[in-house]
Amino acid sequence: MLRSADDARLKGVGLVVNAKGLLDMTLDGKPSVLRDATDCDIDSPQDGFDLQCNWRYAAGAEEAAGDDLARMVARLNACLPSPLEPVAPVVYTEAKIKEMGAEYGPSFEEYLRNNKDLAQYKASYPVDEDGDVSLDIDLSLDRDDRDGKLWLSASFARY
């Protein structure tokens, strides 16, 4: 659906609050593979399309979060022309953290110091014949070392 060259297909994409109080992405009113998200943002398909959803997990829930990520990757790989590619986690040196903190501020430095990338998958697929429009997919699992909480993020951007 998001790889369709016909923009009209995007009109059926929506978000609903389910009985658990969490968010499900829907297509033509029917639930899709993205279910039970803690929060989602959706940008207007007028100039493109961007859907970002997050799932929150308690400290110590690495196995459950990893299982959910693996299921999502497998489900998406079943309907994509080529599989999502794993991306090696970025590890910043202390010097780089300080340099980026000086450029972007202390809150960004704190984020770099405490956020750990546990897993990430990415891919980009052309949508139109000229390759001017593509669907970019990014799935990631991160942990905040201050409290051990985890979050799984899925991003689908089509521009």
Q: What is the pLDDT of residues 22-33, one digit of tens each?
A: 677 777 777 776
For residue 39, what pLDDT is reported?
87
**pLDDT digit string (tens) for 95-135?**
999 999 999 999 999 999 999 999 999 999 998 777 688 89
For residue 120, what pLDDT is reported?
97
Of 125, 8, 115, nearest to 77 by C-alpha is: 125
**pLDDT digit string (tens) for 60-91?**
999 999 999 999 999 889 989 999 999 999 88
For residues 142 and 118, the answer to whether their CB atoms sit within 8 Å is yes
- Looking at the predicted structure, is the pLDDT value of residue 35 above 60? yes
For residues 125 and 103, the answer to whether their CB atoms sit within 8 Å is no
For residue 118, what pLDDT is reported?
95
Confidence of residue 45 (pLDDT cuts 50, 70, 90): low
- Looking at the predicted structure, is the pLDDT value of residue 37 above 70? yes
Instruction: Count Cβ neighbours within 10 Å for each residue of 58-75 and write b for 16 or more, e otherwise.
Output: eeebeeebbebbeebbee
